[in-house]
Amino acid sequence: MDVICKKCGHAHRFKIEVTDFSGFVCAKCHSYFKGKTVETLTYVKEFSAPLVMQWATLGESVKFKRNSYYIISKIQRFTKSGEYGNEFVGLNANQDDIYFSDGVDYACALHTIDREQVTLLPKSNSCKFGNRHYDLEYTEEQTVVYAEGFVFENLESTSTTLTYIQTVNEDRFISQEFIDNDVQYYQGIYLGDEGYYKIFDTYNDYIARKEGVGTKLRNIGVFAVLLLAVLFWVLNWGQIGKDTYKFDEKFPAKKANSEFVGASFELKGDKPKKLVLEGISESKSHPIQLMIKLVNEKTNEIIESGTAVHENNDVNYASGLTVDFCRIQPGIYHLVFVTSSTNGAADMDVNFELTEDYKLTYGGTSYTFLILCLVGIVVLVGIFRSKILAIKNKDFVARAEGLGYFDILKFDRLGVALVAFFAFFVAVNLFVNSSTDCRTTMRTSNLEDHTYTGSRSHYRRSFYGSGGSYSGYGSGHK
Ligand SMILES: [Zn+2]
């Protein structure tokens, strides 16, 4: 049967005959007409467009439990508690009806049942239907805010719905609806979201749009990761490259309280960088205190490490040694190893020998923070992705065709979160790179056997020395 809107002339075609209606709402201009026949429909008012997306399309054929129905009504209600609910009426060729209903946190299908089949037990706020008990759980008062197609109630009056949930199977319920001074009973079953949405054609469209938005979100993620890597590279320009120098030096002396001057080396570059010493320090006398000084041969500036003690290690005579020198200017330097006996004034008059086998690394940047931030940004975009693509944001996703990257960044403040993240990343990098009060520190560790291979310090002793160890750089301290 066809219904032509008397206001805008839009033709609504239904593949089924509908009777017993009390009105009709045009799907195009939203005009509401009252009347019991198509011919006698009279204009009442005009609804505004629905605020929340509706899954069903007027006139579409849907399948539910092997039955086919045509959608003849779409209604959107607004409850007193401030939530939207949709109801779609389906009718099949045998004039059997079905009601599909969804809201913020539910989706269900309902069938009309006879009033006589339900026994109300008002004292216990429950009812009985087919030997099953149902408990009253929700009472909602609601008004119609939008409709389309045939209507069977006065859309201008409010209705009250009482929901009784079955005690044995909570997926089943009885709905008692008061409308137009009448009461109607429905038997309902809650459906999973996916199972419900799949009933309607619009859902397939929605899935395609969701993929479109998902792709844009993935692109935003990829761009953010690349931008972060580029920022890291720019902010740490000049720090990323590193130079290493290796030394193996042996210092004999007559006394334990001595100063030994190491070979000179040049730290190249144009800005201060960190200098790390990793090595093995060995002294035949124990216990002995060791301090390392880094001397700038041009300015004579001296940077001292802390003092380490060579304990009487029962495995061997060596200690693993790590010194972080903070922010060293480029230039020519040498190290001075200062030893002293730990028992103070009484110097040991012995054949003392100190062996220093070490590697210096100038420059280099830690990637830990970058890696943490890269993981962080992937997680951040991932969280927003699952939030934005969640079914509760279907109205946003359904706009997919018109959605640009800017719309997505504006949604749920994804853009603000990303900007904050980048600002944090840049601030930490700038702070670390500009910080001048980093401390020079020294750590020692025991080497576990005489081959040094069991050491927790990963630098291995090189017995053959390396180029440059005793090179001819002069040292003013010799
Ligand atoms: Zn119309």
CATH assignment at residue 333: 2.60.120.230
Other C-beta atoms within 10 Å of 431: how many?
A: 9
The pLDDT value recorded for residue 127 is: 92
Give the pLDDT mean for 186-213: 87
* Cα–Cα distances in angstroms (integers) from residue 241 to residues 50, 408, 459, in the given order: 60, 38, 20
For residue 11, the CA-to-ligand 1 centroid distance in Å is 8
Whether residue 138 is found in the same domain as residue 258: no
Whether residue 259 contacts residue 380, with contact meaning beta carbons closer than 8 Å, is answered with no
For residue 382, the CA-to-ligand 1 centroid distance in Å is 44
SS3 79: strand
In terms of average pLDDT, the best of 169-183, 305-319, 337-351, 395-409 is: 169-183
The pLDDT value recorded for residue 471 is: 33
Amino acid at 376: G
d(CA 401, CA 393): 15
Q: Tell me 112's DSSP state.
A: E
Nearest C-alpha neighbor of 317 from the set 262, 250, 259, 258: 250
Whether residue 194 is found in the same domain as residue 326: no
For residue 112, the CA-to-ligand 1 centroid distance in Å is 30
For residue 60, the CA-to-ligand 1 centroid distance in Å is 18
Whether residue 33 is found in the same domain as residue 122: yes
Q: Which residues pair with 255 in a beta bridge?
A: 349
For residue 226, the CA-to-ligand 1 centroid distance in Å is 52
Q: Which residues contact 438 (CB under 8 A, 6 or more apart)?
A: 274, 326, 327
For residue 86, the CA-to-ligand 1 centroid distance in Å is 21
Helices (H) and strands (E) in the chain, counts: 6, 25
Where does a domain end: 199, 234, 269?
A: 199
For residue 77, the CA-to-ligand 1 centroid distance in Å is 21
| Domain assignment present for 477 | no
Whether residue 298 is found in the same domain as residue 189: no
pLDDT digits (tens, 9 = 90+) for 131-148: 899 999 989 999 999 999
Q: Tell me 411's DSSP state.
A: G
For residue 464, the CA-to-ligand 1 centroid distance in Å is 95
The pLDDT value recorded for residue 466 is: 35
pLDDT exceeds 60 at position 92 = yes
For residue 46, the CA-to-ligand 1 centroid distance in Å is 9
Q: 317's torsion region: left (phi>0), alpha (psi -120 to 50) or beta?
A: alpha
For residue 43, the CA-to-ligand 1 centroid distance in Å is 10
Nearest-10 Cα torsion for 368, 371, 377, 380: -70
SS3 42: strand
d(CA 371, CA 377): 10
Burial class of 130 by CB neighbour count within 10 A (0 to 12, 13 to 18, 19+): exposed
Total structural domains in the chain? Answer: 2
The pLDDT value recorded for residue 226 is: 95
Q: Which residue has the tokens 């019991």?
A: 36
| Domain assignment present for 375 | no
For residue 474, the CA-to-ligand 1 centroid distance in Å is 98
Whether residue 276 contacts residue 360, with contact meaning beta carbons closer than 8 Å, is answered with yes
Whether residue 140 is found in the same domain as residue 262: no
| Domain assignment present for 423 | no
| Domain assignment present for 119 | yes
The pLDDT value recorded for residue 282 is: 82
For residue 332, the CA-to-ligand 1 centroid distance in Å is 88
For residue 147, the CA-to-ligand 1 centroid distance in Å is 12
For residue 14, the CA-to-ligand 1 centroid distance in Å is 16
Amino acid at 226: L
Q: Which residues contact 185 (CB under 8 A, 6 or more apart)?
A: 112, 113, 114, 115, 117, 118, 174, 175, 176, 177
387-403 as b/e, with b when 16 or more CB fall inside 10 Å? ebbeeeebebbbebeeb
Whether residue 183 is found in the same domain as residue 260: no
Other C-beta atoms within 10 Å of 181: how many?
A: 7
| Domain assignment present for 389 | no
The rounded percent of the chain whose pLDDT value lies above 90 is 40
For residue 158, the CA-to-ligand 1 centroid distance in Å is 24
Whether residue 56 is found in the same domain as residue 123: yes
Give the pLDDT mean for 157-170: 92
pLDDT exceeds 70 at position 102 = yes
Whether residue 279 contacts residue 459, with contact meaning beta carbons closer than 8 Å, is answered with yes
For residue 103, the CA-to-ligand 1 centroid distance in Å is 27
For residue 399, the CA-to-ligand 1 centroid distance in Å is 24
SS3 394: helix
Place 304 in a pLDDT band, splitting at 50, 70 and 90.
confident
Which of 251-260, 302-311, 351-360, 416-425 shows the lowest per-residue confidence on average (mean pLDDT)? 302-311
- When computed from its CA atoms, the radius of gyration of the chain, rounded to whole angstroms, is 40
For residue 100, the CA-to-ligand 1 centroid distance in Å is 24
Give the pLDDT mean for 200-225: 88
pLDDT digits (tens, 9 = 90+) for 377-431: 999 999 999 888 887 777 788 765 677 888 888 888 889 999 999 999 999 888 8
Whether residue 195 is found in the same domain as residue 297: no
Where does a domain end: 347, 364, 381?
A: 364
Nearest C-alpha neighbor of 122 from the set 141, 138, 135: 135
Q: Which residues pair with 346 in a beta bridge?
A: none
d(CA 89, CA 68): 12
State which residues form the domain around 303. Answer: 242-364
Whether residue 61 contacts residue 15, with contact meaning beta carbons closer than 8 Å, is answered with yes
Give the pLDDT mean for 145-172: 92
Place 349 in a pLDDT band, splitting at 50, 70 and 90.
low
pLDDT digits (tens, 9 = 90+) for 216-238: 899 999 999 999 999 999 888 77
Phi, psi of 86, deg, nearest 5? -110, 145
d(CA 374, CA 231): 12
Q: Quick one: how far is CA 468 from the chain centroid?
A: 51
For residue 151, the CA-to-ligand 1 centroid distance in Å is 15
- Average pLDDT of the chain? 83
Whether residue 72 is found in the same domain as residue 178: yes
pLDDT exceeds 80 at position 95 = yes
| Domain assignment present for 177 | yes
For residue 123, the CA-to-ligand 1 centroid distance in Å is 48
Where does a domain end: 364, 398, 426?
A: 364
For residue 208, the CA-to-ligand 1 centroid distance in Å is 30
For residue 42, the CA-to-ligand 1 centroid distance in Å is 12
The pLDDT value recorded for residue 77 is: 93
